[in-house]
Amino acid sequence: MTLPRIAVLASGRGSNLQAILDAIAQGRLDARLVGVFSDRLQAGALMRVPPELRWSARPSSFESRQAYERALGDALAASGADWIVCAGYMRILGEALIARFAGRMLNIHPSLLPRHRGLHTHAAALAAGDAEHGCSVHFVIPELDAGSLIAQARLPVEAGDTPETLASRVLALEHRLLPAVLRLAVAGRLSERDGTTYVDGQPRFTPLTLDSLERRMPHPEATP
């Protein structure tokens, strides 16, 4: 059997990549990681996989952003990835690259979208006095953090929370949410058309919850 192929775009430490690797290793995700692609030569994420799975290039060494993204797109296409996951990839992707992989590119974002797009989401949630915060997985479109939502995980903001405490609690949820969504994706149950997410061929007008995903696929760290 040929396993569905996942590629990950990451700029940083790669803890979400690790969550994917762990889910594969523990038999919770029937897929194969075919590459980690980074805009930072020293990204910690690259070190989590063997050298033959690493691709990195400094965008400033290309003559234009388009040229960099053509090279990245060619490398992604060569990997044969069925699904491309942005997991802490800190650059805005251009239209041409996204169009090449339309409907197959996902992003994890540390907020309950549409609240708090962009950076510094934990500070923004605190500044807004939000009672709840969390993370979202969505399809990638050219507008930043604006593609159709697939799933969200939420938690209460506690008195005394700081951006750091929130970041660490949200990150733990990200590590559960992303593999759970990928499990649906690689099972062929997830698609996107005209800005709408479809699960099992049915349009979703509200994002799936982590609870509903884990009812289908218990996570070892999930509390009963």
By the rule CB under 6 A, 150 interacts with ligand GRF: no
By the rule CB under 6 A, 48 interacts with ligand GRF: no
Angstrom distance (rounded) from CA 165 to CA 103: 34
By the rule CB under 6 A, 97 interacts with ligand GRF: no
Judge whether 1 is annotated as a binding position. Answer: no
Determine the 3-state secondary structure of 103 from DSSP: coil
Judge whether 216 is annotated as a binding position. Answer: no
Report the nearest approach of ligand GRF to the CB of residue 130 (Å): 17
By the rule CB under 6 A, 87 interacts with ligand GRF: yes
Q: Which residues pair with 209 in a beta bridge?
A: 152
Angstrom distance (rounded) from CA 4 to CA 186: 6
By the rule CB under 6 A, 94 interacts with ligand GRF: no
The amino acid at 55: W
Of residues 106 through 125, those in contact with ligand GRF by CB under 6 A are: 108-110
By the rule CB under 6 A, 13 interacts with ligand GRF: yes
By the rule CB under 6 A, 165 interacts with ligand GRF: no
Q: Which residues have CB under 8 Å from 218's CB, separation 6+? A: none
Judge whether 129 is annotated as a binding position. Answer: no
Binding residue count for ligand GRF, defined by CB under 6 A: 14
* Residue 151: its H or E element: strand 149-156
Residue from 12, 103, 142, 163 binding ligand GRF (CB under 6 A):
12
Residue from 6, 16, 72, 197 binding ligand GRF (CB under 6 A):
16
Residues marked as catalytic: 109
Q: Which residues have CB under 8 Å from 135's CB, separation 6+? A: 108, 109, 110, 111, 112, 152, 153, 170, 173, 174, 177
Closest CA to 123 of 175, 61, 166, 185: 166
Residues tagged in the binding site annotation:
14-16, 65, 90-93, 107
Site residues, ligand GRF (CB under 6 A): 10, 12-16, 45, 87-88, 108-110, 171, 174
